[in-house]
Amino acid sequence: MDVIAVVGARLNSNRLPRKHLLDLSGKPLIARIFDRLDRVPELRECILATTADSYNRPLVDWAEAQGRRAFAYEGDVNDLVGRIDYIVSRERPKMVLYICGDSPLIEPTTISRMIRALARGADRVAFPTRDGVPVVHEGIDLFPFIVWNRLVLEAEQPFEREHVGQSLVHFAKDLNHVPLEDDPVFYRPKLRLSVDTPSDYQFMSELYRRWYAVHDADSIVDLAWVLDEVDRDPALRGINAQVRQKTAQESSTSVQIVTATGPGTGMGHLSRAISVASGLQDAASAGVKLLIQGPSFEKAELDLLPHVFVEFEEMFETIERDLAQRSVQVVILDLPARYLGEEWLRFIEGLRGKGIKVVSLDFTVTDSERVDLQWVPSFFLRESDMESANLVFGWECFLLGSRRMTRTWKPGSELLVLTGGSDVHGFGDVLPGQLDEDLPAHFKVHWVRGPFAREPKLPSEPRLEWTVHENPKDLSSLITRCHFGFALYGVSLFECLHHGLPTVTLAPGRSDEDRELKALQQADLAVVGHSLAEAVDGLRHLIFDPHHARAISDASQQRLDGQGPTRLARRILDLLQEESVSKN
């Protein structure tokens, strides 16, 4: 049959730049798509369609290195229809198969059946639902040559040129649709099989990892197996279940997050900013860039986020440059309040004067009236702080990473210790000795050393089994593995509670009468120690009281649902919508 497949791909994604070259078990995502197309015998050609700018040159280089055909379009970079039509008008096939370049689970057998169905003289394939349930496929569209030509002519609006198939609405009633029933296994409630955000990529990476752990390298991931695996493991499905699909007529919100890290600042601000970025990408279809004041270092979550480390004195210039390049609509500030002097406040006033929304996290800007939204990830505020109309706080505002499933806590002997990204209080010098002396001898201690912390002083002849984790890539898995936690008061503590880990906390410098710590203790979500000795003693009591530990685990997961970043993203969308309505 005379059918060509055209795979549309550009590296310029707002939510996940360069996604087509991200690794999926040893090959880039784009290669996995072509491997699957190789299993469709009806295709005479498979061609990569990208654009002729330097940023997308790596896609052409990949194709040439693999002996694949590629075309770099020199027209409007947003004119996907024009890009594909340039190829179609020269190849003149009887059918055009369009494949979206972010769909690495396209099903070869379904594509073959679609081609054979159209070969009998129909214009379009239609998949009827089964008891109201649609097919699961994404990223596939098939057109006879004559239908493609009309689609091109009817595509006049920008969104119709940018998204293949949007102009069909103008003449769909004129087409002869052939119903096609697919394999029953492919009828499932909606499941995201495209890669648009880091959450989607994490989901796809895990699927590919599991498949190739037990299958040959020359196999392709079986879509039927994927659906069974997702049904079997709710946590797997939960990885990207919160991602909202952007509509064809919707443009991405452009957001800049300004944060800080370093020896004197720790990791809390950056960890929180990363969670916010994920929520914005998933729930608001936002393009996010992080500007990080502090020394450069490696952190796995940053690998999938556009970011830059900035020197303190260069921050204003870097912010302005990014604002100009990306037409930023929202600036989110998550910095230590001590950073923000009069120069910062004047800068914020200037941003708002330009119509840019400014969001302050956790009183980065202490005066809530100077920003458009003050989002405080805390369950406790002083009465004087609650007077601002644009201030939001509460348990539902905590900005934590997603939790794939609820934990059912069981007793065990593994302890996680988190003293902060820089261990500013020097717990690494004294705490290991106290724990080794006071805890049951069968315990295993997992000490997390932050990127700016000194090496902990472990006992020379330890009673316990010790493992030091150097800035681990996947802290949530480590939290889930352990049975008890010891965490400095701050973001790390609430990450532990969010994952249902019964945890003891310590807040150096705060008095016994601190109202926030008292409120936490009264809520019975953690054991609070007011000194190191008291905290270690509290940990011993918790270890020997499994009923209390289980109660803490259950209650903390109920209070901290992990939806704070999504709620913040929706609140920001509301701000932008209110602005749009007021202008009209």
The predicted model gives 54-62 an average pLDDT of 97
What is the structure's pLDDT at 515?
A: 87
pLDDT at residue 65, rounded to an integer: 98
Q: What is the DSSP string of 95-148?
A: EEEEEETT-TT--HHHHHHHHHHHTTT-SEEE---BTTBPB---SEEEEEHHHH
Does the pLDDT value for residue 501 go beyond 70? Answer: yes
User: pLDDT category, 580, cuts 50, 70, 90?
Assistant: low
At 248 the pLDDT is 66
Pick the closest to residue 277 from 265, 269, 289, 263 (CA basis): 289
Q: In what order do the strands lie in the sheet with 414-418?
A: 465-470, 444-449, 414-418, 484-488, 503-506, 527-529
Reply yes or no on whether the pLDDT at 387 is more than 70. Answer: no
Walk me through the domains of the chain, giving residue ranges and CATH numbers.
3-189 (3.90.550.10), 254-399 (3.40.50.11190), 414-559 (3.40.50.2000)
- Burial profile 286-295: b = 16 or more Cβ within 10 angstroms, e = fewer: bbbbbbbbbe
- Read off the amino acid at residue 423: D
386 vs 26, residue with greater confidence: 26
Tokens of 375: 């989002």
Model confidence at 583, pLDDT cuts 50, 70, 90, reads low
Report yes or no: 557 and 407 within 8 Å, Cβ to Cβ: yes
Residue 137: per-residue pLDDT: 95
pLDDT of residue 252: 82
More confident residue, 544 or 366: 544
> What pLDDT is stored for residue 402 in this prediction?
79
Contact 266, 295 (CB under 8 A): no
Three-class secondary structure of residue 244 per DSSP: coil
Task: Judge if pTM exceeds 0.85.
Answer: yes
Tens-digit pLDDT profile for residues 148-185: 999 999 999 999 999 999 999 999 999 999 999 999 99
- Cα 243 to Cα 139, 164, 232, 257, distances in angstroms: 17, 22, 21, 20
pLDDT band per the 50, 70, 90 thresholds, residue 340 = confident
DSSP state letter for 49 = E
Confidence of residue 473 (pLDDT cuts 50, 70, 90): confident
Contact criterion met (CB below 8 Å) for 469 and 415:
no
pLDDT digits (tens, 9 = 90+) for 107-147: 999 999 999 999 998 999 999 999 999 999 999 999 999 99
- Residue whose entry in the numeric block shows the structure tokens 């279809």: 285
More confident residue, 459 or 386: 459
Q: Are strands 95-100 and 140-144 parallel, antiparallel or unpaired?
A: antiparallel
| Tens digits of residue pLDDT in 536-567 | 999 999 999 999 999 999 999 999 999 999 99
Cα 545 to Cα 212, 443, 548: the distances in Å are 43, 15, 6
Average of per-residue pLDDT across 336-349:
91
Contact between residue 284 and residue 273 where contact means Cβ atoms under 8 Å apart:
no
Average pLDDT, the chain: 93
Bridge partners of 39?
Answer: none
Residue 235 binned pLDDT confidence (cut-offs 50, 70, 90): confident
Least reliable range by pLDDT among 180-189, 306-315, 508-517? 508-517
Residue 581 scores a pLDDT above 70 = no
pLDDT reading at 584 higher than 60: no
